[in-house]
């Protein structure tokens, strides 16, 4: 007797969470995401259908194959996965699961998805990010991006192979065909309004605000020393 998996008919599409790397095409005209595991070889758009990474022509997700999109059930599961060193620069996506899917203990493997929210971590310097820049690696036809703040984006030079230094969140969403909400700083607060491509910052804690104030004060001190040097003919008292 052959056992069949129980069928589900939810009233609304399931929601899942996953890690991915933001990517942009070599000509800077298309944006999307690439998975952090086997599926990373096939970047996908904000709304896309899974394709078998082995080149087979069956419909995903096939029972006798491991193809299809993957996601975890909860935000905490995806956040725990982001602690691994190889995933530190990835973004955390909230997706709507569409089409056929297979449910597992911790997540789902499914046919189609819509990326609704992308949660982005801090810039490498610790500041709040305002866009993406070339991460220094990629796949054929696609550059992998990493979150950067405005100051770090300004310091990145343009080259013949990367005619753009950085792309802000709004431009990334436009290249991807939107709509997509990008949240900079972690989990959004309740009641947030949707912002297409604009960073939505969460409420900052007292230690975080103190660190930001110390950083601003250090920059002001440096600026005052530079002004004093110019005013004093190159000598700083």
Q: Tens digits of per-residue pLDDT, 107-156? A: 999 999 999 999 999 898 888 998 999 988 888 899 999 999 888 887 76
Enter the tokens of residue 67: 């193809």
Which ranges of the chain have pLDDT less than 70? 1-5, 156-165, 185-215, 218, 232-237
Is the pTM value of this prediction over 0.75?
no
- Distant-in-sequence, close-in-space partners of 129: CB < 8 Å, separation ≥ 6: 120, 121, 122, 123, 147, 148, 149, 184, 199
3-state secondary structure 175-214: HHCCCCEEEECCCCCCCCCCCECCCCCCCCCHHHHHHHHH
Under 8 Å between Cβ of 70 and 90: no
Give the start-to-end residue ranges of the domains of the chain: 15-184, 204-237
- Report which DSSP code applies to 160: S
Strands 107-120 and 181-184: parallel
- 13 to each of 5, 99, 190, how far by Cα in Å? 19, 9, 21
Q: Can you give the pLDDT at residue 43? A: 92
Q: What are the DSSP calls for 61-111, one per residue?
A: SPTTS--SEEEESSHHHHHHHTTSGGGTT-EEEEEEEEEEEEE-SSEEEEE
- Distant-in-sequence, close-in-space partners of 178: CB < 8 Å, separation ≥ 6: 46, 196, 197
């Amino acid at each position: 007797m052959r056992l069949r998996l129980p069928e589900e008919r939810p009233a609304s599409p399931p929601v899942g969470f996953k890690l991915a790397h933001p990517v942009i095409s070599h000509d800077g005209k298309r944006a999307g995401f690439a998975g952090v595991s086997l599926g990373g070889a096939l970047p996908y758009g904000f709304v896309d259908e899974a394709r078998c990474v082995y080149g087979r022509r069956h419909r995903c997700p096939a029972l006798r194959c491991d193809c299809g999109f993957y996601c975890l059930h909860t935000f905490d599961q995806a956040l725990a996965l982001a602690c691994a060193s190889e995933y530190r620069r990835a973004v955390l996506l909230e997706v709507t699961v569409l089409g056929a899917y297979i449910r597992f203990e911790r997540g789902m493997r499914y046919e189609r998805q819509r990326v609704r929210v992308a949660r982005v971590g801090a810039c490498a310097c610790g500041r709040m990010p305002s866009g993406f820049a070339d991460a220094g690696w990629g796949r054929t036809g696609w550059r992998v991006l990493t979150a950067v703040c405005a100051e770090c984006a300004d310091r990145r030079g343009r080259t013949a192979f990367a005619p753009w230094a950085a792309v802000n969140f709004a431009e990334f969403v436009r290249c991807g065909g939107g709509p997509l909400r990008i949240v900079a700083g972690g989990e959004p607060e309740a009641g947030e309004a949707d912002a297409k491509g604009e960073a939505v910052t969460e409420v900052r804690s007292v230690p975080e605000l103190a660190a930001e104030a110390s950083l601003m004060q250090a920059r002001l001190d440096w600026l005052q020393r530079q002004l004093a040097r110019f005013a004093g003919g190159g000598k700083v008292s």
